[in-house]
Amino acid sequence: MADNDFAGAGDRFAADVPSGGGRGATSAPWESATPQGQQPTGFSSERRPRLAGVSAGTVVVALLAGLVGGAAGFGGSLLLGTSGSSGSPVLNQHDFTVGTQVSSQSGTVQFAAEKASKSTVDIAVSSRSGSAEGTGVVLTADGYVLTNNHVVSSGGDISVTLPDGKKSAGEVVGTAPSYDLAVIKLAGVDGLTAAELGKSSNLAVGQTAVAIGSPLGLEGTVTSGIVSALDRTVEVSSDDGQAVVYNGIQTDASINPGNSGGPLVNLDGQVIGINSSIQSNTSGESSAGNIGLGFSIPIDTASRVAGEIIESGAAMKPQLGVTGTDGESGNAVISTVSAGSAAEKAGLRQGDTILEVDGKAVSAFSDLIAQIGSSEPGGKVVLTVGDAQGGNAHPVEVTLGSIRDSEPETTTQRPGAQSPYQWPGGQFPYGR
């Protein structure tokens, strides 16, 4: 798979970019549907993509679901040197004498890896455009598997390798482009070990996190690190230019192309996130792998989305009903309010500045997208709203709308803005 900076793949996202081509003005997934024939208004961010560490806290990354070319083989054998004609090894090895070093215990990386690996599968997708490899999390004993949308979005044939090495064909049940999530169903399987899902709402920065997946086709690879940050606004875009914004978990556990769709787990072996993207250094047509900046979709969101897809074949997402831009000093400024939308019903108007969502600061329009996207469809949020200059702040309760997730949320970039990544042929990774 081509490493795009999706965790599991390596692609980059912005929000509400139509999946089929034109990258002009885009519409936000929680914006009211655009009448047929009209150009969608979308979220206009009027700003440059930002990297981790900037004031807005927005990270522009690439999807990880990796497109994998032909594997390079090599010959030869590994030999154990012997001394003289006796055949005795030159080096003698001994088992550890402390039992805890060779047997897993709850609360260790080894325990988490052993437990979660039983519910982790390798996903290979073959299509006319090439091959892709990612990872998946087993949700049910009869073969429902959660992965990234960008792993299976090519529409090719899906082959899944189970933890015991057996293979099964997979079929896409439904997708949620705004969250980069998809559910597939395996054929002819039963008795699989379903993953134990944890709570991402209970996470703390600094706690140990373990990632499992198939980076570069190396099935069953386990890496560990920590939860580096929470509520990170992540903008990523896939190889086909489709873009998404989501609220992610940041980790330094090593994840690379092929890890996409795999689990990020805690030391109890519970899934706390679905690995989706990485920040990587790029130069020309090459891009570096993991540099300690990986991002996962919180399991609280992923489990809701997966449950809806399993039940009905589609997932819902919240709808606010505005377009907007970044404010001059940060925050999100409303450009338009859709008629009949949740925003209009709550009294929001053009020119209003959104300062916070449920007490969390909004430092850019992409932050608003990410925070609304992590809310419950049809649920209530409290926005802190100011005037055009950000003054006269006051709370506004909004009951969000709910619409089917058929295309991702996105922001459009300012014409002429430079991407922090160099893409083949100088292509701009976001639509203009």
Domain boundaries, the chain: 1-68+104-316, 317-412
Write the pLDDT tens digit of every residue in 161-204.
999 999 999 999 999 999 999 999 999 999 999 999 999 998 99
In this prediction, residue 287 has a pLDDT band, given cuts at 50, 70 and 90, of: low
Q: Considering 11, 117, 150, 200, which one is annotated as catalytic?
A: 150
The per-residue DSSP string of 107-123 comes to TSHHHHHHHHHTTEEEE
Convert the pLDDT of each residue in 137-148 to its tens digit.
999 999 999 999
What is the spatial distance between Cα 214 and Cα 129, in angstroms, rounded to a whole number? 21
pLDDT of residue 357: 95
Model pLDDT for residues 60-98, shown as the tens digit of each residue: 555 554 443 333 333 333 333 334 445 555 565 455 444
Task: Give the integer Cα–Cα distance in Å for 90 and 311.
Answer: 61
Q: Does 94 participate in catalysis according to the annotation? A: no
Confidence check: pLDDT of 59 > 80: no
Give percent of the chain above pLDDT 90.
Answer: 50
User: Side chain identity at 310, as an amino acid letter?
Assistant: I
Average pLDDT over residues 265-274: 95
328 DSSP assignment: B
Q: Does domain 317-412 have CATH number 2.30.42.10?
A: yes
The mean pLDDT value of the chain amounts to 74
pLDDT in tens, 375-417: 999 999 999 999 988 889 999 999 999 999 987 765 543 333 2
Which band of pLDDT confidence, cut at 50, 70 and 90, is reported for residue 104? low
Candidate list 122, 180, 252, 326, residue with the active-site label = 180
Q: Which of 131, 238, 260, 280 is catalytic?
A: 260
Catalytic residue list contains 5: no
CATH pick for 1-68+104-316 out of 2.60.40.1730, 3.30.1130.10, 2.40.10.120, 2.40.110.10? 2.40.10.120
pLDDT (0 to 100) of residue 418: 26
Query: Which residues are CB-contacts of 196 (< 8 A; sequence separation ≥ 6)?
Result: 115, 119, 268, 269, 270, 271
